[in-house]
Amino acid sequence: MIATIVGTGLIGGSLAISLKEKGVANWIIGVDQNADNLQKAQELKIIDEGATLQDAMQRSQLIILAIPVDALLQILPAVLDKAGPEHVIMDVGSTKQQILQLVAGHPNRGRFVAAHPMAGTEYSGPEAAIKNLFTQKTMVLCDVKNSDEDALEVIENMVDKLQMRLVYMNAEEHDLHTAYVSHISHITSFALALTVLEKEKEQGRIFELASGGFESTVRLAKSSPDMWVPIFKHNRHNVLDVLDEHIHQLQQMKQLLEKEDYETFYKLIQKSNKIRKILK
């Protein structure tokens, strides 16, 4: 199968590597409006050739859109306009409601499978693409009842070959749960980096003292605003809701410290320790 990857960054590039390696596709066409990235992806042998979207669509069956969710809103309708019954189109966006509302009435909606691989790193661009990024990770497929059966089969087969776990959700559930388990983590990490950069004027001290704990809570703050601002924009309502709760929890801790109520503070930490049971 010939596959096209639109957006040859961390996710698109890592998918390209895996599709080839796991025998899902034998030829990968890359499409990227950033000519530098396209060239790098080719130099790194992540893609076999670069092409325009129109040219790529004429020659490939599987088209994966691995671009920020705001760009997806622009491009998906145009891709569906050109799609025929031989095409399967998949996205990898972190938000789903807006994009699915946008294409709900499109005559070729059935060729589209809305997907979100729960995998990534804080880095971006084709140099960040890595092998096995998706192995043993979860792939969420949304509103699959609106995808044609044969298109869904192509994607389910791909997910299986990539050795991913498959989870089905509707778009509304997806956006709610990802706000809790992904989007809020990025907000807290960005805010923590800003806090420390603001308070810690002696940056050499951060370098000397930062240990694993600090690094792991703040590493997501290296993530690209090009990807994340559109996510927060699309999932604004859910993100605000969980952010409100998070600020409330921090204020509660602050008040307990102010009052020196260490007994209640102890109980709160014990309660938070319950996350042990849920995290692998």
Query: Tokens at residue 231, please?
Result: 């996510």
Least separation in angstroms between CB 108 and its own copies: 29
Tell which positions 178-237 bind its own copies, by CB under 8 A. Answer: 178, 180-182, 184-200, 202-203, 205-225, 228-229, 232-233, 236
What's the CA dihedral at 65, 39, 126, 29 to 10 degrees? 40
Least separation in angstroms between CB 171 and its own copies: 14
**Residue 94 within binding range of its own copies, rule CB under 8 A:** no
Residues 141 and 132: their CA atoms lie apart, in Å, by 20
Is 165 in a helix, a strand, or coil?
Answer: strand
Query: Tokens at residue 222, please?
Result: 């290296």
Q: Given the rule CB under 8 A, which of 5-13, 26-34, 134-142, 156-164 is the region that contacts its own copies? A: 134-142
Q: Which residue has the tokens 């559930």?
A: 173
Residues 31 and 55: their CA atoms lie apart, in Å, by 10
**Residue 145 within binding range of its own copies, rule CB under 8 A:** no
Q: Are 230 and 68 in contact (CB under 8 A)?
A: yes
**Residue 259 within binding range of its own copies, rule CB under 8 A:** no
Q: Given the rule CB under 8 A, which of 19-27, 60-68, 144-152, 245-253 is the region that contacts its own copies? A: 245-253
Measured from the CB atom, the residue of 44 and 191 that comes closer to its own copies is: 191
- Give the closest residue to 37 by CA, choosing from 65, 9, 1: 9
Could you give the string, one character per residue 104-123, with x where binding to its own copies holds by CB under 8 A and - elsewhere?
A: --------------xxxxx-
Least separation in angstroms between CB 268 and its own copies: 7
Least separation in angstroms between CB 152 and its own copies: 19
Q: Is 47 exposed, middle or buried (0-12, 13-18, 19+ CB in 10 A)?
A: buried
**Residue 138 within binding range of its own copies, rule CB under 8 A:** yes
